[in-house]
Structure 1
Amino acid sequence: MNETLNPNVNETLTSAVTDSVNRDTQHVVYEFARAATLEGWWSWALLIGALAAILFVCIRLYRRDTNALAVITGRTLIGLRLVTIAALIFFFFDLHRRTERMVTRPSEVAILVDTSQSMSLPAGSLASTESRSERVASLLGKTDLLKRLEGEHRVSVYAFDQTSEPKLLESRGGLSATNSDPSEKDLAQPGISKWAVGGVLLIGLGTVFSILSLLFGVAGRVEPIGWCVGGAALSLALGIVCLGGVYAIETQYSLAQILGREPSPADPGLERDPVDEETDESATPLRVSDWSKEIAATGTQSRIGDALRSVLADHDASTLAGVVLLSDGQNNGGAGMTSAIATATRSEVAVFPVGLGSSSAPTNIRVVDLDAPRRVYPGDKFAITAMLQASGASDLEVDVQLLDKLDDDAGNEETNAPANLGEVIDSQKVKVTSDGTLTAIRFEMQPESVGRRRLAVRVVSPAEDQNKRDDTRDARYEVVAKKLRVLAIAGGPTREYRFVRNLLFRDKSIELDVWLQTGKPGMSQDADQVLQAFPSQPEALFEYDTIMVFDPDWTAIPAESLDLMDRWISQQAGGLIIVAGPVYHPQWTRLRTDPRVSRISGFFPVNLSTRGALLSGGRQGGDNPWPLEFTAEARRAEFLWIAEDAKESFEIWQQFGGVYDFVGVKSAKPGAKVYANFSDPTTEIGGTKPVYLASHFYGAGRVYFQGSGEIWRLRGESDAYFDSYYTKLVRWVSEGRLMRDSTRGVLLVDSARAMVGETITVRAILTDDQFEPLNVPEVSAKLLAPSGRIDDIQLLPLKGEPRPGTYGGRFVVREAGSYELRLTLGDALEEQVLRQSVQVRLPTVELERPRRNDDELKQLADVTGGTYSPMSEETSLESLSGSLVSFLKPQPQTTVLPGTPDIDFNRRRNIVLMWLIATMLTMEWVTRRLHRLA
């Protein structure tokens, strides 16, 4: 299943991955801040001259002052003063330490993969067995293209189709061993530094010499004092410099930790900030495990311009080495290619298109779609409509045949292709234009025999047709012998009830019973049987396929009968049609103590309001009609097709004047499908208009809700539209009953017709061989695709479902044609197979231009500085991969962040200098006192 991510989440993830792959290295810089403030040669000359004068005077005065002393003592005193002056000079120049960060942003490559449905067409000539999307999947998954690119770039692979924002599928590369944050050297725990140990030993040695000099002085032995003082001065000066240097540099450790007197943290530099951890977690690179599924051709449009503009906006042009575009080049939605070319040119980013498909317009005729009913009745004439499309140099005139046979599964089970398409029962000659325009052809049939059958429409293809595999399209249908049993219940003889009753009574395929709750015994009704109460026995109720209620008085139905109705819908796959009304509906919804209310409310696919009309509890006696506002789901609901096709049907619905009233609805229930809303904007609650038409599965059955009994107003357009709506609706809700292949359960799909890329929801209500609800962890079904592929579909127990034995699943239809879902129950001796079929077609816009658009793709490459690479069937994927790698030259970008001075270093530096100066001056004073100098 291919799900589209939210654009905002996609953008955030892209940004997070970008930040996480930046190379972030650090190194320490030491510099004298005072030196940076001295400008001009005269400043340095004056400073050096002053320092030289101070040193000269100091040395001259000390030599004269110590002239009478021993040489070693005089030199020691001069050294002590010079060390003090040097420390002051060091302090004057103000040594600073700061950490520079060098952030290297890696080179980037964006790969855009077209996932529109035209990519399901052949990769080369029409005889090719490999589709364009499969060709791309081989390039990305079976070659080393991505692996070679990630060695020098950060690679982001996007999929695009009808959405304005492409979807990020994979992000890799941009990380290396040197791309960690600070280096190991900077963050490693040094332990006890050898310099610190040496400094301590030297200070200890200096202390020993100092004590010895004092002892010699007390003893009156002057000769050894000079040597002891000299050794002490040298040892202390070197020891303070060594130990103080380590103490000042290793600011993350205390002096006790440096000397090993206190335990130090294991890796303080490696401690992670919680925010960084959260960022890194969200920045985990994405990887694709199955490219054929991720880039399956499911989109209804190809928005190349929008995709290019979005990627160029999300990536930094300075590091974007190029954009690789894998597409057939047919831009049929959103912004044009011109705007994308202009954006790429301004950003100075090269685009490297890879063209898929054939560059020539092939001569071909194909059956694009086949529209046939799933269930018909013996003797009922029904229509089959097929859509043809041709391409080539000239128009084609062909014979089109209609074939029919029993669906005996005599074909090859592995390819789902029948060995014999059946007998030709009709044929027409039709001219199909070669510009890609769809041509409709219509057949009519009147079945006589009962059973499951398969029909097919086949084009007798001309000799120049390059692909004969798409000349046939087949569909399954079932001829049902039994009549539909319908029970109509009405709280009163409303117009809706009377028109529907008369319609169904005239229908020869329907057996109608009625219960008019306000009727009197003996009252005449156009029905096969008139009831005086709701059926109280299971054998009586379970005979019905559909129950229609028109604003009924629910309180007149006993609780036991409501429980029976629940069993009939959920276990027997019955169909319930609820037409709400203004008389009884407001009454029972306000009951709070009656236990039947929760049971009745459970049938509805919507959550009902219990407030009055003034408080959004619905509308009664409206002044103006409002047309129904149909949803996208309504376009796929065939019972709303009151004309020959969806387009004409909804044009009629738009002409329909609308309805005046509706009952109060809070919201649709989870899993319910909403087909239409009441369109008056003044009725909105929380930005949502009231639901008027909706349905949901209730166990094995369907329940349909209609907000008021006013569809009879559609008769103002034509009686045929009203008749079509209710006839199709009755047959649709009872589909579960009539299409049951087994007494052990029912298999349902939410839509029998779909477009390529749509998700089909499956629901199964199953029992075991004892007719108790099935209780197993999962149920496996087989999905037979038009291409012959057989996939396993796992159906799992539905969570929150009050009825046990209810399983659900879903699958995505990825190609045009007839899908069949099969679920097998029982063992080999008593095997029962449940079946459901889905007809799938491609949208017109993706079929109009099957040719590869070389002109625009080459222009895109030339203007942006890229290279165009057409991919034919003969193109070697390995050579194409190597060419793309050579085209995309790395262009990383490095930024130096200077950082701020280390305050802790400055503080410790000053401590060490003060320690050194104080020690040197103290030793000088003691030495002078021992030698009785001024």
Structure 2
Amino acid sequence: MNEMINESIGHGTQQVVYEFARASTLEGWWSWALLIGSLAALLFVSVRLYRRDVAELPKLTRWTLIWLRLLTIASLIFFFFDLHRRTERRVTRPSEVVILVDTSQSMSLPVGAIASTETRAERAARVLAESDLLSRLEQEHRVSVYAFDQASAPQLLETRGGFFETREDDEADSSSSSFSTLAVVGSLLVALGVLLSALSLLVGAAGRTQAVPWLLAATATSLVLGVIVLGSVYAVHTDQSLTQILGVSEEAAATQQEKAPAEPSTTPAPVRVADWSQAIAATGSQSRIGDALRSILSDFDPSTLSGIVVMTDGQNNGGVGTGAAIAAARRSEVAIFPVGLGSSSAPVNVRVVDLDAPRRVYPGDKFAVTAMLQASGPNNLEVDVQLLDQLDPSATSGMNAADESSTSFGEVVDSQKVKVASDGTLTSVRFEIEPETVGRRRLAIRVVAPEEDQNQRDDARSARYEVVAKKLRVLAIAGGPTREYRFVRNLLFRDKSIELHVWLQTGRPGMSQDADRVLDQFPAKPEELFEYDTIIAFDPDWTAINADSLDLLDRWLSQQAGGLILIAGPVYHPQWTRLRTDPRVSRISGFFPVNLSTRGALLAGGRQGGENSWPFQFTPEARRAEFLWIAEDPADSFDAWEQFGGVYDFVGVKTAKPGAKVYAYFSDPTTEVGGSLPVYLASHFYGAGRVYFQGSGEIWRLRGESDAYFDSYYTKLVRWVSEGRLMRDSTRGVLLVDTSRAMVGETVTVRAILSDDQFEPLDVPQVAAKLLSPSGRIEDISLLPLKGEPRPGTYGGRFVVREAGSYELLLTLGDALEEQVLRQSVQVRLPTVELERPRRNDGELKQLAEMTAGVYTAVDPDTTNDQVRKTLTAELKPQPQTTILPGTPDIDFNRRRNVVLMWLIAMMLTMEWVTRRLHRLA
């Protein structure tokens, strides 16, 4: 016998189950046959003996005594079968549907093969935002929407549906009220039985024996029914006393409810997207369909996963292939429903992928501008490519500058006819231009695209540059005439844009050097030191620089945005690092972007006189560092670095400092300490200035590959570290970015060192800057104070670049009467891997569907959102799963059950004994 009371509890139901424990221990038909036979014999014998024993009594009295004895036996049988109560939970997990949306940059291409203004990402946003797809699915499933691109795991955007929101209070109140009514009825029956028993005694004493049998039968019926009803309610409600059940006392019940711990909610909070166009913007550099599917299949239970919807163009160009995802889906029996966005035929389009131009040039010096073109379509294209140049509009109009899509790039200064292959390969075009006037200027490369070109927004790219008349002033300090020092000195002395001063610490007075000026000591006055933009230190003897000069150097770095290049060496570097009692050591060590080792060479203090050369192990940060681009193309540059034989020695470095960027490690595995190779190239910000560290003076060995590589490295390095000085727009501060070139989707870090109108460090909670994107959109960027900086007034922030082109960051200081604007620009490009195959990959998407029992939906320009919704809602069948969690027997119920049985048996035996005594039976 099972009786269940269902109580809704969130994601499932709580069921109170009553069952006979003894019944589950009887195995085999013979056990039941023996038990039933024994009970039948017992009942038969009892009835037969009682009929003989009470044959002389009135008929109604005879049957009353027989039924009292039978009910007593039945109560004992009920006790033998041992009725238990336990609470089991029936958990129903909802059916689930996962929607994966591709946010790689190929989704920025148009939907159709003909001219169209709607991109694939915009179409996906319309399907999610404007159609009722999500609202229909959430009626039967829990829907989770994820975005995926180059990351190995997709990002959750929204969850909805599948949340049981039931109310239990009314049901519980109704159940409690009905049981209270039964308890009252049982109490009334017991009271009636007691009253009838007293009345039967009085009637019998009065001599009216004919009415006694009827009163006796009514008394027994009332008492038995009353005890059964009242006892049943009492046993079931084990958390309440008898007075609480009858409604006499409520205080104890309230206390009981307060002590009862609330069951923690397992219902996840829903996550909603406010703007789908922003949430699934096409910014990723890769499309990892296989990784996204495998991640979902590993995170979700396949028993409740009704299907996976993938909204993509099918171009899987990163991570594992889709074959592994198909195999995992087949093992889990989960269907995949691809929604193909884009065109099955190659769209006709030509675009400017990238534009490479210097940030600073000098009047009269020609410089090169290089652009990369890419085309798609049925045939190769021949197009006119134009170079345009003008004064930067934002230099005068601020945030009202023309946007990237505008045609107002200035006048055409040169043009070329270029043949571009339609298979997605890159075509380079190069222009040379000679700057005319000093100031900020803007140039652009524009393609005169054919009429059938479907995306005019990528036909042009612009870049900002500055023509500066000021020469770069460099101070070279050397502990001795090393090869590195001599080669760099000669290089910088020949550069017409650089004024070179040198201090050779081992030199004698009157010694000749290839330099514009020769010093015999470190500059002692601020006006002397602050005229320099860059200081290059070749293993200097730091002990020859007094503490006051070091304080001056600190001010030059942190306040004047100077650039410091530290080239370690084997002579003086190990000496000063061991002077632990010299207070200057901590100041000098603070300049370095790395924590230096103070131990000897045998204790990880570095290497001197190595027998073999080792190449650099570059980090991902190195790929973004322009000073390491020693060839015309970044890829060719790192090919050249790989061919470079490497270096022999390095100085001891413990770790990089927090916030420092490591570009390269010394790759000899035998030099590894604590699981990390020695840092060889690194940099960090020191206040407003940049400090660059090089582990030894051996880059001169690069001349064995090409003198041009060596010259390019040091020329770009000097200009990069002095960028803060050259790009200062105000005497009140400097604005810096960690990189001037970035890929779409990357994060750019911003740093500002600011002063107030009294030239004291600025002290405000935050500083607001404006970011002008290539499309003309203006964003607010908040810069907050940076903790742990050596100089107050240092602020930092970051922003994500989401489109290709030139970004302009502006920070305004002062008021309208004395307004000063700090500027920085970042050139952003699209990775070519995402746009090499613009065609929708129908073959792979169909395979995903067919191999997993799913359905493929191709979305063409004329496909309506309603058609997509109908297909998906019809195919995604709900498959919830119910699990039963058994509970343990209720001990309090067993105790109260035994008490009720004891009172029932005792009452029936007492009535039987009294009746027999009144009728003078044995």
TM-score normalised per structure 1: 0.90
Contact 1:146 1:155 in 2 (8 A): yes
Shift of 1:516: 2.3
Contact 1:414 1:790 in 2 (8 A): no
1:918 aligns with 2:910: no
Between 229-238 and 864-873, report the one with greater CA deviation. 229-238
Shift of 1:41: 7.8
1:729 aligned to which of 695, 717, 722: 717
1:84 corresponds in structure 2 to: 72
Shift of 1:478: 1.0
Contact 2:405 2:457 in 1 (8 A): no
Contact 1:414 1:789 in 2 (8 A): no
2:334 corresponds in structure 1 to: 349
Partners in 1 of 2:89 and 2:786 — Cα distance? Answer: 55
Partners in 1 of 2:10 and 2:262 — Cα distance? Answer: 18
1:699 aligns with 2:687: yes
Alignment of 1:669-748 (within 5 A): 669-748=657-736
1:393 corresponds in structure 2 to: 378
1:377 aligned to which of 362, 381, 385: 362
1:263 corresponds in structure 2 to: 252
Shift of 1:111: 0.6
Partners in 1 of 2:392 and 2:522 — Cα distance? Answer: 40
Shift of 1:240: 2.5
CA displacement 1:134-157 (0-9 Å, x = unmatched) = 222232233332122111111111
Shift of 1:387: 0.5
Contact 2:117 2:455 in 1 (8 A): no
Shift of 1:438: 0.4
1:31 corresponds in structure 2 to: 19
1:488 aligns with 2:473: no
Between 141-150 and 742-751, report the one with greater CA deviation. 141-150
Partners in 2 of 1:67 and 1:392 — Cα distance? Answer: 112
Shift of 1:388: 0.8
Contact 1:352 1:867 in 2 (8 A): yes
1:146–1:214 Cα change, 3 Å: same
Tell me which amino acid in the other structure corresponds to 1:606.
V
1:420–1:227 Cα change, 3 Å: closer
- 3-state SS, counterpart of residue 282 of structure 2: coil
1:771 corresponds in structure 2 to: 759
Shift of 1:95: 2.8
- 3-state SS, counterpart of residue 263 of structure 1: helix
CA displacement 1:797-822 (0-9 Å, x = unmatched) = 22333422222111111111121112
Partners in 2 of 1:557 and 1:432 — Cα distance? Answer: 59
1:553 corresponds in structure 2 to: 541
1:114 aligns with 2:114: no
1:247 corresponds in structure 2 to: 234
1:359 aligns with 2:344: yes
Shift of 1:174: 0.8
- 3-state SS, counterpart of residue 65 of structure 2: helix
1:336 aligned to which of 299, 311, 321: 321
Between 724-733 and 96-105, report the one with greater CA deviation. 96-105
- 3-state SS, counterpart of residue 118 of structure 1: helix
Shift of 1:577: 0.9
1:316 corresponds in structure 2 to: 301
Partners in 2 of 1:184 and 1:270 — Cα distance? Answer: 21
Tell me which amino acid in the other structure corresponds to 2:336.
V
1:126–1:747 Cα change, 3 Å: farther
CA displacement 1:177-199 (0-9 Å, x = unmatched) = 34x89995499867983333444
CA displacement 1:656-684 (0-9 Å, x = unmatched) = 22222222222112211110011122222
TM-score normalised per structure 2: 0.91
1:438 aligned to which of 420, 426, 437: 426
2:499 aligned to which of 511, 523, 529: 511
1:406 aligned to which of 391, 401, 405: 391
Partners in 2 of 1:875 and 1:656 — Cα distance? Answer: 56
Shift of 1:368: 1.1
Tell me which amino acid in the other structure corresponds to 1:242.
V
Shift of 1:771: 2.3
Contact 1:187 1:267 in 2 (8 A): no
Shift of 1:732: 0.3
1:837–1:859 Cα change, 3 Å: same
Contact 2:116 2:454 in 1 (8 A): no
1:890 aligned to which of 878, 881, 897: 878
1:195 corresponds in structure 2 to: 182
Alignment of 1:894-913 (within 5 A): 894-897=882-885, 899=887, 901-913=889-901
Alignment of 1:457-468 (within 5 A): 457-468=445-456
Tell me which amino acid in the other structure corresponds to 2:711.
D
1:187–1:902 Cα change, 3 Å: farther
2:414 corresponds in structure 1 to: 426
Partners in 2 of 1:346 and 1:183 — Cα distance? Answer: 45
Between 168-177 and 813-822, report the one with greater CA deviation. 168-177
Shift of 1:252: 3.5
Unaligned runs of 5+ in 2: 1-7
Shift of 1:38: 6.4
1:529 corresponds in structure 2 to: 517
Contact 2:686 2:790 in 1 (8 A): no
Partners in 2 of 1:563 and 1:748 — Cα distance? Answer: 23
Shift of 1:653: 1.2
2:628 corresponds in structure 1 to: 640
Tell me which amino acid in the other structure corresponds to 1:646.
P
- 3-state SS, counterpart of residue 318 of structure 2: coil
1:871 aligns with 2:859: yes
2:529 corresponds in structure 1 to: 541
Partners in 2 of 1:78 and 1:469 — Cα distance? Answer: 101
Partners in 1 of 2:870 and 2:622 — Cα distance? Answer: 49
2:4 corresponds in structure 1 to: none
2:224 corresponds in structure 1 to: 237
Partners in 1 of 2:595 and 2:168 — Cα distance? Answer: 55
Tell me which amino acid in the other structure corresponds to 1:264.
A
1:39–1:482 Cα change, 3 Å: closer
1:757 aligns with 2:742: no
Identity, in percent, stands at 75
Partners in 2 of 1:637 and 1:752 — Cα distance? Answer: 9
CA displacement 1:883-929 (0-9 Å, x = unmatched) = 43233232323344555544443343233222322332234334444
Shift of 1:204: 5.0
What is the root-mean-square deviation in Å for CA atoms of aligned residues?
A: 3.3
Partners in 2 of 1:693 and 1:175 — Cα distance? Answer: 54
1:578 aligns with 2:566: yes
Tell me which amino acid in the other structure corresponds to 2:569.
G
1:146 aligns with 2:134: yes
Partners in 2 of 1:138 and 1:460 — Cα distance? Answer: 32
Shift of 1:587: 2.9
Tell me which amino acid in the other structure corresponds to 2:617.
E
Partners in 2 of 1:337 and 1:22 — Cα distance? Answer: 38
1:294 corresponds in structure 2 to: 279
Contact 2:10 2:165 in 1 (8 A): no
1:284 aligned to which of 251, 269, 272: 269
Shift of 1:597: 2.7
Between 826-835 and 717-726, report the one with greater CA deviation. 826-835
- 3-state SS, counterpart of residue 791 of structure 1: strand
Shift of 1:850: 1.0
Partners in 2 of 1:803 and 1:915 — Cα distance? Answer: 87
Contact 1:21 1:105 in 2 (8 A): no
Q: How many residues align structurally?
A: 910
Partners in 1 of 2:176 and 2:522 — Cα distance? Answer: 86
CA displacement 1:471-519 (0-9 Å, x = unmatched) = 2222111111111111122223322222222221222211111222333
1:69–1:388 Cα change, 3 Å: same
Unaligned runs of 5+ in 1: 1-19
Shift of 1:454: 1.6
Partners in 2 of 1:187 and 1:38 — Cα distance? Answer: 38
1:782–1:130 Cα change, 3 Å: farther
- 3-state SS, counterpart of residue 465 of structure 2: strand
1:209–1:189 Cα change, 3 Å: closer
Partners in 1 of 2:814 and 2:679 — Cα distance? Answer: 42
